[in-house]
Amino acid sequence: MELLATQRGMKVVNEPLLMTRFVGRSTPLPSSWELLLPGPQREPMLERYFSDLIANRLGVGVPMPFSKNHRWFSNRLLFKIQRCSDMMNWFERRFDGKIVYLVRHPIATAISRERYGRLALFLDNEVFCHSFLSDELRAYGRSIVATGTELQKKVLDWCLQNLPPLRFLDRTRWVCLTYEDLVARPEDTVSWLAETLELEQPERILERIGAPSKTTNKSDASTRSLLQGMVDKSDRTYLLAKWRSKVDVDQERDAFKILERFGIDLYRCGCDEPVYDLGRAGSANGEVIRGLS
């Protein structure tokens, strides 16, 4: 979101489905995570909500005046959404939107997260499980919730959130990219992103890549230093493999057993980057296997 927000005329809405922002307030959405999972109320509720956001009748998630990402005039609207991943095709069809799907290595993602409070909700939701999980997979997931390590639970949560877009949804018209591509190949990735999304100022994105995002206050000093002045390729490689200092070989292997059970093969044990190109107008199946060295 912060990269695309650098573009002229781009209005951003930051996490309109972050339910904790609605607690104790008169709000357009009930403060219940369950309502963001499949059910009869979800689509009508979200259609009304996003229609109001698009019509500028609500100010949820909009930058304050004079902040860096605020726009007095805009002709493009960008939503940063980290929930309802099974609805990505619905959003695409209902609002005639372009999906930009960003994914990161599951263990690196897990280490960066503090909570996974919605994990059990996925496994308790009958519609979600009927659509995306076998009875065996559902039981397997519940066994991890009951007896798994913290890392295993976070990786399971990553799998449940990314399973629909990676294995079941139609990605034909999406713009799919990985965190690893942005870090390791920023110039090529930004050039392709600018062409695909018809962005007029790609140089602003490249400048922004070298700056720490609002979430880097969770990173340690060495990571922040690299993000502020990352120019050397070895620095980029360090960032992609940095999570390995916090996970041993057995923990990595156990985590990837979970991905294997869910049939997710974008990342593999022993690899810091995805093993195939998710991005350039992908289908539900990966192409272009990369070297595994």
Q: What pLDDT, in 10s, does the model give residues 52-64?
A: 999 988 877 666 6
Compute the mean pLDDT over every residue in the chain, rounded to the nearest whole number.
85
**Between 139 and 211, residue with greater pLDDT:** 139
Model confidence, pTM: 0.85
Task: Please tell me whether residues 27 and 156 are part of one structural domain.
Answer: no
Q: What tokens appear for 151 in the block?
A: 């890392």
Task: Please tell me whether residues 168 and 196 are part of one structural domain.
Answer: yes
- Is pLDDT above 50 for 226? no
* Residue 90, domain member (yes or no): no
Task: Please tell me whether residues 67 and 151 are part of one structural domain.
Answer: no
Task: Please tell me whether residues 106 and 55 are part of one structural domain.
Answer: no
The helix/strand/coil state of 80 is strand
User: What whole-number percentage of the chain has pLDDT above 90?
Assistant: 61
Report the pLDDT averaged over residues 270-274: 95
List pLDDT tens digits, range 93-136.
999 999 999 999 999 999 998 888 889 999 999 999 999 999 99
* Residue 257, domain member (yes or no): yes
Which residues constitute the domain of residue 24?
1-83
Query: Which of 25, 58, 83 marks a domain boundary?
Result: 83
- The whole-number pLDDT of residue 234 equals 57
Task: Please tell me whether residues 283 and 151 are part of one structural domain.
Answer: yes
Task: Please tell me whether residues 160 and 271 are part of one structural domain.
Answer: yes
Task: Please tell me whether residues 179 and 289 are part of one structural domain.
Answer: yes
Task: Please tell me whether residues 104 and 52 are part of one structural domain.
Answer: no
Which helix (H) or strand (E) is 277 found in, with range? strand 276-277
- Is pLDDT above 90 for 168? yes
- Is pLDDT above 60 for 80? yes
Total domains in the fold of the chain: 2
* Cα–Cα dist 159/278, whole Å: 16
Tokens 């005039």 belong to which residue? 73
